[in-house]
Amino acid sequence: MTYYVNDFDGTGDQYCTALGNDSNDGLSPDAPKGSVQAVMDAYDLEPGDVIWVDSGVYGAVSVGAGDSGVRVVGPAAPGVALVEATADYVVYLYQVTDVTLERLAVRNRYAAGYGVYLNNCDRCGWRG
């Protein structure tokens, strides 16, 4: 399956034709969810599923064992999908296999926190 995420601003969008809202189903460019976490929470993701994340700023994301094999893909340059938080982690991958994060910028505003935290991951990857 393919899922779509957009923030609340259409500037620089490459994938979505509407603004994001977590009450949307996220299944098409004209009804994107407002956060990556909303997709993770709403669906049982399967290997090969792709979450297209448009330009914007998004909150922390947790990917657990039930979502192994998913790709989370941000926009091509010059677009930027920034995932940021003030927490222990911004992106937390735990007990997953074959998860790929692509073209996402990560910023943690908590001095003692992590950007991307891997906990018992196998073949997880990051592509800038």
The predicted model gives 5-14 an average pLDDT of 95
Q: Please state the length of the chain.
A: 128
The predicted model gives 88-109 an average pLDDT of 92
Model pLDDT for residues 26-57, shown as the tens digit of each residue: 999 999 999 999 999 999 999 999 999 999 99
Count of the separate structural domains present in the chain: 1
pTM of the model: 0.94
Determine the Cα–Cα distance for residues 61 and 84; give it in Å rounded to an integer: 9
- Bridge partners of residue 83, in order along the sequence: 58, 106
CATH assignment of the domain containing 43: 2.160.20.10
Q: Domain of residue 76: give its range.
A: 2-127
For residues 75 and 24, is the Cβ–Cβ distance under 8 A?
A: no
Model pLDDT for residues 102-112, shown as the tens digit of each residue: 999 999 888 77
> How many other CB atoms are there within 10 angstroms of residue 71's CB atom?
18
Model pLDDT for residues 16-26, shown as the tens digit of each residue: 999 999 999 99
Q: How far is CA 53 from the centre of its chain?
A: 6
For residues 70 and 32, is the Cβ–Cβ distance under 8 A?
A: no
